[in-house]
Structure 1
Amino acid sequence: MGKYLVLQTDFGLGDGAVSAMYGVAHMVSDEITINDLTHDIPPYDIWTASYRLYQTVKYWPAGTVFVSVVDPGVGSHRRSVVAKTAYGHYIITPDNGSLTHIRNYQGITEVRNLDEVKSRLPHSEESHTFHGRDIYAYNGARLASGEVTFEELGGIVPTDSIVEVPLVEAKYDGKIFSGSIDVLDVRFGSLWTNIPLDYFKEAKIDSGDRLQVTIYHDGKKVYQNIMQFVRSFAEVEIGEPLVYVNSLINIGIAVNQDSFSDLYNIGTGTSWQIELRKAAKVIFEED
Structure 2
Amino acid sequence: MKTATYLAIVLLLTFARASAQNNIVVLQTDFGLKDGAVSAMKGVAMGVSPGLKIFDLTHEIPNYNIWEASYRLFQTISYWPKGTVFVSVVDPGVGTSRKSVVMKTKTGQFIVTPDNGTLTHVAEAFGVAEIREIDEAVNRRKASGKSYTFHGRDVYVYTAARLAAGVITYQQVGKALPNKVVAMPYQHATYTDGVLKGTIDVLDVQYGNIWTDINDDLVAKLNLKYGDVLHFKIFNKGLPVYEGDAPYSKTFGDVPEGKPLAYLNSLLQLSFALNMGSFADIYKIGSGSDWSVEVGKR
> Normalized against structure 2, the TM-score is what?
0.91
Q: Which moved more, 1:250-259 or 1:216-225?
A: 216-225
How many angstroms apart in 2 are the aligned matches of 1:113 and 1:216? 37
Offset of residue 38 of structure 1? 0.3
Offset of residue 253 of structure 1? 0.7
Counterpart pick for 1:171 among 184, 190, 213: 190
Offset of residue 276 of structure 1? 0.8
How many angstroms apart in 1 are the aligned matches of 2:137 and 2:253? 55
Is residue 2:99 matched to residue 1:99? no
Equivalent position amino acid for 2:60 in 1: D
Contact 2:102-2:133 within 8 A present in 1 as well:
yes
Give the structure with the higher percent helix.
2
Offset of residue 263 of structure 1? 0.4
Equivalent position amino acid for 2:144 in 1: S
How many angstroms apart in 1 are the aligned matches of 2:271 and 2:131? 32
CA RMSD, 1 decimal: 1.0
Contact 2:222-2:297 within 8 A present in 1 as well:
no
Is residue 2:265 matched to residue 1:233? no
1:69-218 equivalence runs, <5 A:
69-160=89-180, 162-218=181-237
Equivalent position amino acid for 2:277 in 1: D
2:277 is aligned to 258
How many angstroms apart in 1 are the aligned matches of 2:120 and 2:130? 14
Offset of residue 169 of structure 1? 1.1
The alignment covers a number of residue pairs equal to: 278
Equivalent position amino acid for 1:92 in 2: V
Q: Which runs of 4+ in 1 moved over 3 A?
A: none
Q: What is the identity percentage for the equivalent residue pairs of Structure 1 and Structure 2?
A: 49
SS of 1:178 mapped into structure 2: strand
How many angstroms apart in 1 are the aligned matches of 2:162 and 2:103? 15
How many angstroms apart in 1 are the aligned matches of 2:243 and 2:162? 51
Offset of residue 261 of structure 1? 0.3
Contact 2:25-2:85 within 8 A present in 1 as well:
yes
How many angstroms apart in 1 are the aligned matches of 2:236 and 2:122? 25
Counterpart pick for 2:61 among 31, 34, 41: 41
1:5 is aligned to 25
How many angstroms apart in 2 are the aligned matches of 1:133 and 1:245? 38
Segments of structure 1 that go 5 or more residues without pairing to the other structure are: 280-287
SS of 1:118 mapped into structure 2: coil
Segments of structure 2 that go 5 or more residues without pairing to the other structure are: 1-20
Offset of residue 32 of structure 1? 0.8
Offset of residue 78 of structure 1? 1.1
Offset of residue 180 of structure 1? 0.9
Q: Deviations over 1:32-54 (max 9, x none)?
A: 10000000011111111001001
Offset of residue 240 of structure 1? 0.5
SS of 2:289 mapped into structure 1: strand
Offset of residue 102 of structure 1? 0.6
Contact 2:228-2:297 within 8 A present in 1 as well:
yes
Counterpart pick for 1:22 among 42, 45, 60: 42
Q: Deviations over 1:93-126 (max 9, x none)?
A: 0011100001112211110010223310011111
Offset of residue 202 of structure 1? 2.5
Contact 1:228-1:242 within 8 A present in 2 as well:
yes
SS of 1:168 mapped into structure 2: coil
> Normalized against structure 1, the TM-score is what?
0.95
2:7 is aligned to none
How many angstroms apart in 2 are the aligned matches of 1:170 and 1:223? 19
Q: Deviations over 1:178-221 (max 9, x none)?
A: 11111100111101101111112123112221110111122222
SS of 1:21 mapped into structure 2: helix
